[in-house]
Structure 1
Amino acid sequence: MLKDLFAKKKKYASIPSEQAKNDVPEGIMTKCPSCKKIMYTKELAKNLKVCVNCGYHHPMNAKERIASLIDEGTFIEYDKEMVSENPLNFPGYLEKLEKDKEKTKQNEAIITGECSIDGNRAVIAVMDSTFRMGSMGSVVGEKITRAIEKAKELHIPFIIFTASGGARMQEGVLSLMQMAKTSSALKLFSDEGGLIISVMTHPTTGGVSASFASLGDYNFAEPRALIGFAGRRIIEQTIGEELPADFQTAEFLLKHGQLDAVINRHDLKESLANILNIHQPGGDKRWQEN
């Protein structure tokens, strides 16, 4: 009898851990890539996708980002139906776009629109790294440009959240042209006194970092975000030197004067609201009262 009991314990103890993992439905748990802590995905979402253990900022898609920032029910989306073509007849490009549309339930790597944050109207553009790695093609550049022009027309601030691997290779020079187009639109907007707020999230690289992402009146970033133009290895090979461990992080850029602040996601809405309040005509009444 005792022998049978020990045999049963041994049997259960021998169940492989991998099998136990397979018993948990996919998506229920999330493992933090920074501290390796495993947590419930729903709990992570409630905490704005910030790890409760180490503070690592997990990527947010555009819809999640907008929902976390704006006054409920105030978002009016622009150019929702705009889609990319295949101007260079790049093999497989349209098929890849269709897969990303199905996966993300959106038509491109950016969502733009008008909203209210703490009662302040603004035009917002939010890039989405889950769609073609947030790459900048013709549609992304066009939607950003139209959003800037709409902010100019309405005389309200323009806020952009960047998350991108850079220009979209399948569109070649047409994607690179978006750097000049968006930068020109921002210059015209700025010349008329428009307020530009740029928030760089992980990652913001390539042509995006070298154009509209860095042209804000306020340039912010989330903690530990990767921000840079060329890759680390390419730079090290070019200059023949080893770069600092924190090179191209938000904290490194802040230390060297390329950012105005690194802001925790939990504090971002309040920070944006304060800036928008201050820049209201006549300034923030709360400041005047004090």
Structure 2
Amino acid sequence: MELRRLFSRRLVVLAMAGALAVTGLLLLGVRQSAQPMSDEARAQAQAEYERARADWEENGEEIEAQCRADEELERESTGQDVDFGCESLEPQPEWFLVSAPELQDSLPGTVGAAATLLVFLAFLVGATFTAAEVSTGSLSTWLTFEPRRLRVYVAKLLAAALGVLPAAAVVLVVTVAGAWAVTDRYGLADGMTTRHWSGTGTMVLRILALTALFALVGAALGFLLRHTAAVLGVVVGYVIVVELMLMNYLGELQPWLVVKNVEGWINRGASYFVDVCTTGPTGTTCEFTERSLAFGHSAVYLVTLTAVVVLAGALVLRRRDAV
């Protein structure tokens, strides 16, 4: 019953159709990146490399010396241990002759891009499903036939979570199969081993689970805020104020941000950078330090967040006088 009500909403059907359309655009991008350079572009790139190489042979020592002088000047003015990469200025062929990435290197990024789309659409589907039920009065009518509110609440949340899974699975299968078909045409899929395919399969399963979680969160927020626009407004405000601003000014809080933990869930771990400053005899020195975010941290964080939002929605629905 609830699944039929879910798919009766036009926005839900359009969102799922839109996911397939965007998947087509994603595969078009894969095709463009997989195409080898044309003979004309390759000849032009080779000529540019030869010019850069000739200039380096003539002026390389001066260029490197100037780079190191600028590097030292920056250290003295900022007190930071900067590195301009002066030892890596010599032109290399790969800077000019672009090679298409192998499938084993490009597929995680392609699937990750599809995952970002699916997470957003799952959240939107869950929110619009329950918020519309509340705002239009359908929920109040339904509760006259089924007065057990928590049972209705659980049924609608499960419908949202289960309803998005088939479309998400289709999108992911089309993405993986399409990326393989496109890259295999250009001989870029030969490096895919059993280990790579196994990693892709587990990544797909993680994305499906994450999609269901975000559908649950969206559906619970729909009950809490009653209107789809209100849910989207709160989410956009959170992303701007917390995810973007705090991430820029308080880098050490990144392990507690939703976006970073979504990345950690999808990729089975993530990394982030913080500005670490130390004070010594010569003053304060700051440098960016890379830190890792474990998959277990992201999993516990997102499951706990989902549980909190779902429980909050249940409590509000149970205590609310009128829906």
Give the TM-score, by structure 2 length.
Answer: 0.21
More helix by share: 2
Give the TM-score, by structure 1 length.
Answer: 0.23
Q: Which has the higher contact order (CA 8 A, sep 6+)?
A: 2
More strand by share: 1
